[in-house]
Structure 1
């Protein structure tokens, strides 16, 4: 994916007084829900019907879609900005006026923007037309359904031993984490084993060629280092300093020698039992050690972490985020991974993570072992709604054409 710009970050909308709404011209659309990308969006004031036009809360919807909003108190003007492939869309609305300015040109509104209980309301149809969202009103269900416009955001893919069938998708990601190494039962780094190993060459296509070709094509190659802690593989590294130094030295040697530009550290299973605070502190020390060496070599560092609302609580998001370029929140495996993850749990995982670090440090993990073409954009929509850095897709080989086509409607994955 080649960068053409980012959707601008959300801004605050400070509301002042507004023209009085004449009695009889407004009716509350009681019980109305707003659904954004397949998941309910909270709003401070219910949508209203004014002179036959559905009016929706501008701030709640705009901020959830990453639109920058500014309020001019003296002029009673709202200015909204959005950046996309065609450039900057600038919309200026004036409370009480049926004329809007769109990139300097006048556009007529069916109903003027109004303020109801401190919330600015605008015509639903205008929002759809000007900000590229697909918006629909279902009168029978009393539901406003909004599909956010296609957005550019950081995308990382995971490439495992079984990923070659979707090798052609590799250039469409910003980064790719190659899962070809792990910790063995003794806690030593290895590139051999049952599921995370250095793959054999397929004719002229060697692992080294894939890594080199990835970087040349604009996709940053990461070495992924995986381990669970069922056999205390991770714990041994946290408690044995000599082993830790050896493991980190071997990770660095492998990453540098094989031409990787970054490291994804995916050490799982900490904090389910035992002293969770100690596990988190020990892991912080491990990551700090690795981070210093990675930065000295000019390598990026991403840390894959269990979601805070999981059973594994041995991860200090705040400290880890300060040591790494980003955290990949693996907000999946809440169940058997045979059906889509519960969106409410993914939403909760994001909100909990945002209490520990900033959105520019968070990458939402989306597992295609669980999601399908009907559910994947709801999860991606949450990453967009909260303005996260991006998404990490597990994994090539599981995506499939139907899900890939749907993902391309939500995120710029290909040129």
Structure 2
């Protein structure tokens, strides 16, 4: 078991009272010792800073934070009641309700009165609440590092749609497919001559392995109540993708063959992974040509009862050929591949991934967006923080590249972070 997972497991097993004592007591001791209570406090949510509209403050040894920001980050719905100057916070996953009133040291949790160390207060238009109490009521674990004045929050498991890619040496982890909600089988591609094919050196229809055939894998995913996608890959390294997008006849023939293959081989949908668009040239023209292709594919797929998903480069990457807003309206779900920023030499920079999500959300509804995570970059220690961002922004889910790279330790992290 990796060190990050062990640490999280320990914190998840900790008694709430002990966690609160650690958070509140350390701050109290520092204040009593004449420590600089006015110094800033850092909030880390799933090992990444949580921006707040107002800096956290310590009052009588209790860390107070802006209510709405912490609620939204934990996926909690909130309602302000002006008449009673109170706040109702509800967890949509289990219906638990916590009611807090400005100036009152009594909170109601599930209809039962509970005493607070410090009453909620209003400062500069923001309502401040006791962080430890609130977070722990909703299943988060909170710890305090007095030396760095850092509050660390581990968010509770949340419901997320999980997708795994099956391509390029994935067979050894085929049994893991059943643990994901959807599996995208990368067995089709556009070749260097711009032709759709099931053959080639990668992204090809595999040969049977004993009694296990490609079709049995697809059917097995369906039988387990999961969604098998037929993934089609294309690169524009030599202009082969552009050639298809700019030739209406070639595009229509490609769409027909893709849809026929997906329907005849009993997939539930098509996933396009068309990469490399818009590195150079007229970005708007490239976007329009791709929009046109996806629009026609969407119509053809819908006529055959197939779903449509698209995987796209992140908006803070090098490629400008993706009209995220239009693609989101045409597809059932979108994967933003927020990786390969530094050649997949190590875990992706959190700031870049965070930026990719925020910029994509400017054009794509959160309920359609999955965060693409590459296990070519990540490891079991870094994975939790990436999943934490998906939870923080209320995304539809995560898409893991790929089976064959995930491993048991990363699988444990996914199980700990995602509620079924």
TM-score (norm 2): 0.89
Instruction: Map 1:52-67 to 2 at 5 A.
Output: 52-67=61-76
Question: Which residue in 1 is equivalent to 2:18?
Answer: none
Tell me the alpha carbon deviations over residues 155-213 of structure 1, each in whole angstroms, 9 at most, x when there is no partner.
11101131111112111111110001101111111111001111111111111011001
SS state at 1:287 partner: helix
CA-CA distance at 1:116 after TM superposition: 1.9
Partner Cα distance (2:394, 2:322) in 1: 22
SS state at 1:250 partner: helix
Question: Which residue in 1 is equivalent to 2:149?
Answer: 142
Say whether the 8 Å CA contact 1:55–1:122 is kept in structure 2.
yes
CA-CA distance at 1:129 after TM superposition: 2.3
Q: Say if 2:412 is the partner of 1:367.
A: no
Question: Which residue in 2 is equivalent to 1:120?
Answer: 127
Choose from 46, 49, 55 the match for 2:58: 49
Question: Which residue in 2 is equivalent to 1:3?
Answer: none
Question: Which residue in 2 is equivalent to 1:76?
Answer: 85
Question: Which residue in 1 is equivalent to 2:235?
Answer: 228
CA-CA distance at 1:54 after TM superposition: 2.1
Partner Cα distance (1:381, 1:126) in 2: 21
Say whether the 8 Å CA contact 1:35–1:144 is kept in structure 2.
yes
Q: Say if 2:253 is the partner of 1:250.
A: no
SS state at 2:96 partner: strand
Q: Say if 2:269 is the partner of 1:262.
A: yes
Question: Which residue in 2 is equivalent to 1:391?
Answer: 398
Question: Which residue in 2 is equivalent to 1:281?
Answer: 288
Q: Say if 2:311 is the partner of 1:304.
A: yes
CA-CA distance at 1:69 after TM superposition: 0.6
Tell me the alpha carbon deviations over residues 327-349 of structure 1, each in whole angstroms, 9 at most, x when there is no partner.
21011000120200011111111
Gaps of at least 5 residues in structure 2 are 1-30
Question: Which residue in 1 is equivalent to 2:186?
Answer: 179
Question: Which residue in 2 is equivalent to 1:7?
Answer: none
Q: Say if 2:224 is the partner of 1:189.
A: no
Choose from 180, 202, 206 the match for 1:199: 206
TM-score (norm 1): 0.91
Choose from 19, 23, 40 the match for 1:31: 40
Question: Which residue in 2 is equivalent to 1:211?
Answer: 218
Say whether the 8 Å CA contact 1:113–1:122 is kept in structure 2.
yes
Tell me the alpha carbon deviations over residues 75-115 of structure 1, each in whole angstroms, 9 at most, x when there is no partner.
1110001033xx31111111111111111112111111112
Say whether the 8 Å CA contact 2:380–2:409 is kept in structure 1.
yes
Say whether the 8 Å CA contact 2:77–2:92 is kept in structure 1.
no
CA-CA distance at 1:28 after TM superposition: 5.2
Say whether the 8 Å CA contact 2:75–2:392 is kept in structure 1.
yes
Partner Cα distance (2:55, 2:246) in 1: 55
Partner Cα distance (1:29, 1:103) in 2: 34
CA-CA distance at 1:32 after TM superposition: 1.2
Tell me the alpha carbon deviations over residues 95-143 of structure 1, each in whole angstroms, 9 at most, x when there is no partner.
1111111111121111111122222222222123201001112111011
Equivalenced residues, count: 387
Partner Cα distance (1:135, 1:373) in 2: 21
Q: Say if 2:337 is the partner of 1:337.
A: no
Gaps of at least 5 residues in structure 1 are 1-23
CA-CA distance at 1:52 after TM superposition: 2.1
CA-CA distance at 1:410 after TM superposition: 1.2
SS state at 1:170 partner: helix
Partner Cα distance (1:93, 1:117) in 2: 18
SS state at 1:392 partner: strand
